[in-house]
A = this chain, B = another copy of it.
Amino acid sequence: MRINQKYRMLQESYLFSSIQKKVSAYQEKNPSAEIIRLGIGDVTRPLCPAAIAAMHKAVDEMAEAATFRGYGPEQGYDFLRTKIQQYYQKKNVRLSLEEIFISDGAKSDLGNILDLFAKENRVLIPSPVYPVYVDTNLMDGREIVYMEASKDNGFLPMPCEDVKADIIYLCSPNNPTGAVYTRAQLQKWVDYAIRQDAVLLFDAAYEAFITDSGCPKSIYEIEGAEACAIEFCSLSKTAGFTGTRCGYTIVPSALKRDGDCLQKMWLRRQTTKFNGVPYIVQRGAEAVFSEEGMAQCRDNIKQYQKNAQVIAKTLDMLGIWYVGGENSPYIWMECPNGMSSWEFFDDLLERANVVGTPGIGFGENGDGFFRLTAFGTQEATQMAMERLKEVYGK
């Protein structure tokens, strides 16, 4: 018996445990300090009333033999796929139902999609990056090439014709940087992917935060994308489903590689290794896409967007460079006074009692930068920014 020794290539991430240890130690020494956390990537606002009502109804259905639901289709119920189809129609993207796969979240599908690709493929990943892209490829032993995101390119790396790639990851709005690609930029990526015969894995988990019409919410708004891109989306940030677990993945029928149709392969993967999302959750997700549900979710998102604006205005006032915040719940700021990510973490914790996420936790390119999130409450965000002004405003 041999294990998959590729797992030995994985590095343990101590990012969030290191943060927790530092915060706990500080709190112990300073029991009266009111620490505000702007580091979490999790939402804080409850589910919208439409989803709550729909899930209660679905739970009741499960209590009666006449309305009970057993095994559902692995790729999701048509009642939900139809809603997502309509959601895309509003972005002028036409999808057939079989191109829409309901998932238990973008993270699962981003990992599992790699089942479809040979291990010999070369993977292009931006840095800093959501660690899942890297780790899932290391587990398979694929070669990874990093594209450098930096202050110079606004943390939006563009394709370089000299770099050969088979699988390309893009996340826009980006986690962790909050940077968002424009239509023209994404067109260049799609054109590059087609020339390279590559598959573009497009993570659109934060699309609901885009307000600028110049920034596409779906890769399929870009000409040619249906022949090169798979899109991963989620209700986690759109509707606060981080603990309710529902997302969707689009695999276009037109996407063929190596003579095979990836939509058919993904259907085979999912029917073999997945049994679908709970009926109750799918009914909740359906309600999110109702007119009422969408309005309620937009209200929640607006609250987070207000937080992002408060953070952005504060950084503007302090003359600190940043990206994100406008079309994203994340603000990626340069650490003041040339501090490293961890130096600023300590400084911010000790002097302002505010916790954020050191940029270096997302890759070496992230050093000297810091992630703040808009997912806190309004009061906490406002208070944290007052403290920042006091400490760094001299």
Chain A contact residues, CB within 8 Å of chain B: 1-5, 7-8, 10, 42-47, 49, 52, 55-56, 59-60, 62-65, 68-72, 104-105, 107-108, 111-112, 115-118, 120-121, 132, 135-136, 139, 166-167, 196-199, 240, 242-245, 257-258, 260, 262, 265, 268-269, 272-281
Contacts and interface: CB of A to CB of B under 8 A. Distances in A.
27 contacts: A1-B258, A2-B120, A3-B265, A4-B116, A4-B118, A4-B265, A5-B118, A5-B258, A42-B71, A44-B70, A45-B68, A47-B68, A55-B59, A62-B243, A62-B244, A68-B240, A72-B243, A104-B275, A107-B275, A115-B139, A132-B273, A136-B273, A139-B272, A243-B276, A243-B278, A244-B280, A281-B281
Contacts of A52: 59-60, 62-63
Contacts of A45: 65, 68
A166 B2 contact: yes
Contacts of A198: 1
Kindly list the 8 A-B residue pairs having the minimum CB-CB distance in the complex, ordered from nearest.
A111-B273, A42-B70, A2-B118, A69-B243, A70-B242, A1-B166, A3-B258, A46-B68
A7 B116 contact: yes
A180 B59 CA distance: 34
A43 B60 CA distance: 17
A89 to B, nearest CB: 28
Given A104-B274, A132-B273, A278-B278, 4 more contacts: A1-B166, A3-B116, A55-B62, A111-B273
A328 B45 CA distance: 45
A19 to B, nearest CB: 15
A81 to B, nearest CB: 16
Contacts of A132: 272-273
Which of A42, A49, A112, A196 is packed against the most chain B CB atoms within 10 Å? A112
Contacts of A8: 260
Nearest to A269: B139
A383 B320 CA distance: 78
Contact of A65 (B10, B44, B64, B257): B44
A4 B45 CA distance: 41
Contacts of A269: 139
Contact of A280 (B55, B107, B199): B55
A348 to B, nearest CB: 23
Contacts of A275: 104-105, 107-108, 242, 245
